Structure 1
Amino acid sequence: MRTLYFDCFSGISGDMVIGALIDAGADPVQMEEELKKLNMDEEYNLSWGKVVKNGITSTKFDVILTSKSDQTHEHCHSHEQEHSHGHSHSHEHEHSHGHSHSHSHSKEREHSHGHEHNHSHVPHSHHGSRTYKQIVEAINEANFNESVANMSLAIFKKIGEAEGHIHGIPLEKVHFHEVGAVDSIIDIIGAAILIDQLGIESVQSSAIPTGSGHIHIDHGIYPVPAPATLEILKGVPIASNDIRSELATPTGAAIAAVLAENFRSFPSMTVESIGYGAGTKTFENHPNVLRIIIGETQ
């Protein structure tokens, strides 16, 4: 059985998942074409390219918002504004243009042969806000194949139910901030497209480290893991980790929680391909990457 294993030793986020899938050999150009079915492509551009994280070559994926996304939807603040694996924050956009971060050093070198576009950037806090119902309608109207649609809908439902539970409102009334933002829609549906493209029959995962410390979100200063992330990870083994940073975002947690059939140590498998997806932050003592392993299991 063709199996994908998420090795989440440094956590998981939507952009890390896509970066790792591209790194393992998935076709991002085909994904970009498929995503046009959402009729949202005026709102974003995609970027991917190689970076070196603490000695490991990995793929960094970014969603870059265009000025259209600012005009099309009302302004709202994203809950993922300050997440460590945030989806292409405005101050991180230099990634997509081949410049290393100002806080990076020799451990992380940016190779500028990524797939790049030049459009005016919009601050992360100006993301379009969409309701759960609007997202479901957009997926249903896009005519993705059944596998892609089902994966995407299940992941959004998992996050929507978590948000609804925390805020005390029914799923239909959930008004997304971070998930309604264009980049998270792309991360979730893009991941589903690439997993389907690779012919994956089974998904397994390690336990999920969430990190520790505090983050700033719309509602104030919150502990890590953020409430939505913790709610999403109910029933999922969480790995202890003393890194004072948010390692698992709601999007990443939901992708693993929905798709993984079980959470375990590395399974017996014949390895076919390996991919490393880069997170945004650079940590001193370990590479901030998500590793995926694809191969045949019995």
Structure 2
Amino acid sequence: MRTLYFDCFSGISGDMVIGALIDAGADPVQMEEELKKLNIDEEYNLSWGKVVKNGITSTKFHVILTSKSEQTPEHSHSHAQEHSHGHSHEHEHSHGHSHSHEHEHSHGHEHNHSHVPHSHHSSRTYKQIVEAINEANFNESVANMSLAIFKKIGEAEGHIHGLPLDKVHFHEVGAVDSIIDIIGAAILIDQLGIESVQSSAIPTGSGHVHIDHGIYPVPAPATLEILKGVPIASNDIRSELATPTGAAIAAVLAETFGSLPAMTVESIGYGAGTKTFENHPNVLRIIIGEIQ
């Protein structure tokens, strides 16, 4: 059985998942084409390239919004340092993705005033997201994975804020970058022919994080709610290691949580996070192989 294992030694986020899948051999250009079915491609540009994190070459995936709106809170803290220290490595090690840098540097902001206002993609309702996925005509596997992940996040947000699912507004995961992270991950997992998913325990980090409603402890309430029933790993890193999007991808897709299963390894991928830590590489490792 073709199995994917999430080795979350430095946590998990949506962009780390996509970076790792691309690094393991998935086709990001095909993903980019599939994502156009959502009819929101004027709102973003995508880029990916090689970076080195504490000695490990990995793939960094970026969603660049094409309006002047602020990025959503989940992503403002996870992508805040993206442009200050990510690019020197990316140019140094990037091979064959010249189009991705074209998007990023030459016309990443050309659509500034031509389409949706800030309010449109800083807050989408759960119902709007479900409708967009259903109308996009993705294949059944991609649609089901995407809908299940959004439902997990929506239920967690609803529980925290005391709202029924259909009243939940996705301030933190409804923005374009998180829609891309979730549906893009589903597209790439389907593309790779993955039949089952397993994961390590999820380290959440510690400390505090700034989100929509103020300063919250790590793990943020929504992340912790999403990880109910999932083994959490302890570590002493004072940073948010698992975002709600990353936590939901693992919680929904992984059938079991534990150590690396016995398998014949076929491919390995490293997806870079935005932050850089002094003593360990901030990457998500995925291992794909056959379990007999």
What displacement does 1:219 show?
Answer: 1.4
What displacement does 1:129 show?
Answer: 1.4
Distance 1:102 1:143 in 2: 26
The answer as to whether partners of 1:8 and 1:208 remain within 8 angstroms in 2 is yes
The answer as to whether partners of 1:75 and 1:126 remain within 8 angstroms in 2 is no
Using a 3 Å threshold, how does the CA distance of structure 1 residues 133 and 234 change in structure 2: closer, same or farther?
A: same
The answer as to whether partners of 2:124 and 2:171 remain within 8 angstroms in 1 is yes
Distance 1:161 1:52 in 2: 36
The answer as to whether partners of 2:16 and 2:61 remain within 8 angstroms in 1 is yes
Using a 3 Å threshold, how does the CA distance of structure 1 residues 90 and 282 change in structure 2: closer, same or farther?
A: closer
Offset from partner CA, 1:117-164 (integer Å, 9 cap, x none): 999999999953100000000000000000000000000000000000
Distance 1:290 1:71 in 2: 23
Using a 3 Å threshold, how does the CA distance of structure 1 residues 102 and 63 change in structure 2: closer, same or farther?
A: closer
Stretch moving more, 259-268 or 216-225 = 216-225
- Corresponding residue pairs, total: 292
What displacement does 1:178 show?
Answer: 1.5
What displacement does 1:231 show?
Answer: 0.1
Offset from partner CA, 1:32-76 (integer Å, 9 cap, x none): 000000000000000100000000000000000002878999999
Distance 1:145 1:115 in 2: 31
Using a 3 Å threshold, how does the CA distance of structure 1 residues 101 and 38 change in structure 2: closer, same or farther?
A: closer
Using a 3 Å threshold, how does the CA distance of structure 1 residues 96 and 45 change in structure 2: closer, same or farther?
A: farther
The answer as to whether partners of 1:50 and 1:111 remain within 8 angstroms in 2 is no
Distance 2:75 2:268 in 1: 39
Is there any run of 5+ residues in structure 1 with no aligned partner, and where?
none
Is there any run of 5+ residues in structure 2 with no aligned partner, and where?
none
Q: TM-score, normalised by structure 2?
A: 0.85
Distance 2:74 2:10 in 1: 34
Distance 2:180 2:256 in 1: 25
The answer as to whether partners of 1:79 and 1:217 remain within 8 angstroms in 2 is no
Using a 3 Å threshold, how does the CA distance of structure 1 residues 72 and 115 change in structure 2: closer, same or farther?
A: closer
The answer as to whether partners of 1:77 and 1:177 remain within 8 angstroms in 2 is no
What displacement does 1:84 show?
Answer: 14
2:49 paired with 1:17: no
Aligned CA RMSD, in angstroms, stands at 5.8
Distance 2:88 2:155 in 1: 28
Distance 1:242 1:66 in 2: 37
Looking at secondary structure, tell me which structure has more helix per residue: 2
1:200-215 mapped onto 2 (5 Å cutoff): 200-215=194-209
Using a 3 Å threshold, how does the CA distance of structure 1 residues 75 and 204 change in structure 2: closer, same or farther?
A: closer
Distance 1:292 1:237 in 2: 18
Q: TM-score, normalised by structure 1?
A: 0.83
Using a 3 Å threshold, how does the CA distance of structure 1 residues 53 and 222 change in structure 2: closer, same or farther?
A: same
Distance 1:40 1:289 in 2: 29
Using a 3 Å threshold, how does the CA distance of structure 1 residues 259 and 172 change in structure 2: closer, same or farther?
A: same
Distance 2:192 2:288 in 1: 9
Offset from partner CA, 1:54-112 (integer Å, 9 cap, x none): 000000000000028789999999999999999xx99999999999999999xxxx999
